[in-house]
A and B are shown apart, each in its own frame.
Chain A
Amino acid sequence: MKAFQFILLGVLAVFLFYTVLDMPPRGDLDSPASQTVSPAGTPVAGAHYIQHAYPDTNTPNMVCVVLADYRSVDTLGEVIVVFAGVMTCFFILRRRP
């Protein structure tokens, strides 16, 4: 049984490394992720964010801009999740004096 597990892991590793070999190199301008127009002819959203992040907000860190400006409703949801966890602990665990 243990040998079967190792063989299964090896086969999966072969599949993974074979897939990694087909990926474009890092920073390749010709890769599909770096194009401003998708193969279907529609504009790509990521290129718009990269090009407009600094002129829109004067903030050099575009990750921060996407997190707090373009996707701020998503971040609001994360904070609400944290707050909901805190309130759950408060109601279940806190001792009354």
Chain B
Amino acid sequence: MITQTQSPIIEIVSRGIAPFIQLFGIYVFFHGHYGPGGGFQGGVLLAAGVLLLRMSMGAVPSQAQVSSKITIAICALGALIFAGTGLVTLLYGGDFMDYHYLPFPGLEAADLRYYGILLIELGIVMAVMTGLIAIYDDLLGINHAGNS
């Protein structure tokens, strides 16, 4: 957990599997428009890839991928992207979360709603992924400096 695992099998297998879990998470996130998937599921898969490395490589070496210092900030930024999309549509004359009023020039109303959905899914995936990593780090007792 905090220290690196003693077993080379666990370390090598998790180092090999974690990028594929994260790649599948990105696929699930972008596939949300066309099939099962979306921000919450993709965010959980991305967090699972990072947490697998956190558990096998140890807390300190895996800081290189996602640092414990920036997780809370990215989580807040994701929630802010979601709410900010709604506020931008409110400022440009529409209702709250009515993506038809997003200020992207040269797009039809349907395409504007398509990209509005993509924007808020991006906010969800950032908030959920870094949120789960932050909860894990807090439970493990890693402080801001990154060491235990």
A residues apposed to B, CB below 8 Å? 55-61, 64-65, 67-69, 72-73, 75-76, 78-80, 82-83, 85-87, 89-90, 92-97
Contacts and interface: CB of A to CB of B under 8 A. Distances in A.
Contact of A85 (B40, B131, B142, B144): B131
Given A61-B33, A89-B139, A97 B145 contact: yes
A68, A80, A90, A94 — which one has the most chain B CB atoms within 10 A of its CB?
A: A68
A61 B113 contact: no
Interface string B108-148: 01110110110011011001100100110111011111000
B113 A69 contact: yes
Interface of B: 32-36, 38, 40, 72, 75-76, 78-79, 82-83, 86, 96-97, 99, 109-111, 113-114, 116-117, 120-121, 123-124, 127-128, 131, 134-135, 137-139, 141-145
A94 B72 CA distance: 11
B42 to A, nearest CB: 12
A94 B139 CA distance: 8
A65 B121 CA distance: 11
B78 to A, nearest CB: 7
A84 to B, nearest CB: 10
A2 to B, nearest CB: 39
Contacts of B142: 95
Contacts of A76: 82-83, 86, 97
A93 B138 contact: yes
A95 B137 CA distance: 10
Contacts of A61: 32-36
A69 B127 contact: no
Contact of B121 (A68, A87, A93): A68
Contact of A86 (B33, B75, B83, B141): B75
Contact of A97 (B38, B120, B144): B144
Contacts of A68: 38, 116-117, 120-121
A56 to B, nearest CB: 6
